[in-house]
């Protein structure tokens, strides 16, 4: 749908509201509206109208006159993967994979492990299975307040790199369990590698930048609810939209969406210790609260686990993510999954994967395929750090203070 449309990168602006008005006149779609509110700098937009006036006024510069072709060439589309050679060392992560191949990869890993179960947690709006992989260590009991970690990926449809990281996490956690099952003693880890199957499929076939699920919104032709604004956690309290056409549309009511309800049910099977929701992009380790700039009563705990994840990621490929509370590091956003988890006693973490906010290999929500494997590798190390903190917080030293990201100084 973006073929023939102009892809632009914005310059710094003195007035976001005025810039939005100019973009609206040119028929522009802002790819990540909340981040734009930092100052417009480097925000990407796709425009169906004449952008000559925008360029002349210094609003931004043209990256490509054909956004669809640009993304196909720079990032690529999903490709089928041959079922033979399904071992961990194969080239599955050299390219983007479709839903069927991702699910087959996960099933193959579970079948080969002998230590995990693959379960259908529920159905998406369009009736697709929402799978979870469960690894339950020796001595774990859901009736007792024991270590339980829940991991979700690809809640936002267009964030393909997160779904690939989810498949990788399943494979390598199961490989770890096969090699040292004692690692999971007294612990349950539940992984949902694809949390928005309907939206993901739509993003691979029709609208590469689709973010939401596939809900039909009453009185509107615009599809979808933002599944990370729909949770019954200070729902519709800021940082979301009541406009069904907005990417951050929070839905008609809290927990209105089937996908939200399925994930909530998984969360609430037993007390959680840590919940990690993996998104992209901007290379961040974010912690609850997201709905308010006020600090959590567990701020010091959050800095310990956040710092531990940050350091584990850095040691993988030398990339240093920025760490801190959502509303301090990024923006205020109510109705999010990590605040829902926090309200239920878990430490709620959000990872924002590659690429970086500024510079780097570029690509935003459509990074080059060469980023898939290193991103999955460093994400996995960060998740191990989260699991190990959940098992024994005392084993993690207090982190050194992290300077604020440069764009906040």
Catalytic residues: 352
Structural contact between residues 49 and 27, judged by C-beta atoms closer than 8 angstroms: yes
| Cα 7 → chain centroid | 23
Structural contact between residues 312 and 400, judged by C-beta atoms closer than 8 angstroms: no
Cβ neighbours of residue 80 closer than 8 Å, sequence gap 6 or more:
97, 98, 101
Give 177-225 as a DSSP string.
HHH-GGGGTTEEEEEES-S-HHHHHHHHHT-TT--S--PBPTT-S-B--
Helix (H, G, I), strand (E, B) or coil at 355: strand
For residues 167 and 86, give the distance between their C-alpha atoms in angstroms, rounded to a whole number.
12
Phi then psi for 225, rounded to 5 degrees?
-120, 140
Crossing angle of helices 160-179 and 197-205, rounded to 10°? 130
For residues 168 and 373, give the distance between their C-alpha atoms in angstroms, rounded to a whole number.
9
For residues 93 and 357, give the distance between their C-alpha atoms in angstroms, rounded to a whole number.
23
């Amino acid at each position: 749908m973006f073929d023939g449309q102009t892809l632009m990168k914005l310059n710094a602006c003195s007035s976001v509201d005025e810039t939005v008005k100019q973009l609206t006149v040119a028929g522009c779609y802002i790819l990540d509206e909340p981040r734009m509110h930092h100052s417009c700098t480097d925000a990407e937009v796709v425009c169906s109208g004449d952008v000559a006036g925008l360029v002349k006024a210094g609003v931004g510069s043209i990256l490509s006159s054909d956004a669809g072709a640009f993304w196909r060439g720079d990032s690529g589309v999903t490709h089928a993967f041959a079922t033979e050679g399904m071992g961990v060392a194969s080239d599955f992560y050299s390219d983007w994979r479709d839903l069927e191949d991702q699910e087959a990869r996960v099933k193959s890993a579970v079948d080969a492990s002998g230590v995990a179960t693959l379960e259908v947690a529920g159905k998406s709006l369009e009736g697709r299975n929402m799978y979870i992989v469960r690894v339950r260590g020796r001595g774990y009991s859901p009736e007792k307040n024991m270590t339980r970690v829940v991991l979700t990926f690809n809640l936002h449809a267009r964030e393909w790199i997160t779904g690939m990281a989810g498949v990788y996490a399943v494979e390598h956690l199961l490989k770890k369990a096969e090699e040292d099952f004692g690692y999971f003693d007294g612990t349950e880890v539940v992984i949902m590698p694809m949390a928005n199957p309907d939206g993901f499929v739509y993003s691979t076939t029709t609208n590469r930048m689709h973010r939401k699920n596939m809900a039909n919104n009453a009185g509107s032709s615009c599809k979808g609810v933002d599944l990370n604004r729909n949770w019954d956690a200070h729902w519709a309290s800021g940082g979301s939209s009541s406009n069904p056409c907005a990417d951050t549309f929070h839905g008609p009511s809290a927990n209105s969406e089937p996908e939200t309800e399925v994930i909530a049910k998984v969360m609430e099977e037993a007390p959680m210790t840590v919940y990690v929701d993996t998104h992209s992009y901007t290379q961040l380790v974010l912690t609850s609260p997201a709905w308010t700039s006020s600090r959590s009563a567990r701020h010091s705990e959050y800095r310990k686990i956040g710092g531990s994840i940050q350091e584990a990621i850095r040691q993988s490929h030398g990339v240093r993510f920025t760490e801190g509370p959502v509303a301090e590091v990024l923006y205020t956003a109510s109705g999010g999954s990590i605040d829902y988890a926090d309200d239920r006693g878990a430490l709620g973490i959000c990872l924002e994967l590659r690429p970086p906010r500024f510079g780097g290999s570029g690509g935003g929500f459509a990074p080059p395929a060469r980023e898939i494997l290193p991103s999955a590798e460093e994400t996995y190390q960060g998740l191990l750090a989260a699991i190990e903190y959940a098992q024994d917080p005392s084993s993690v030293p207090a982190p050194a203070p992290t300077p604020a990201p440069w764009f906040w100084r």
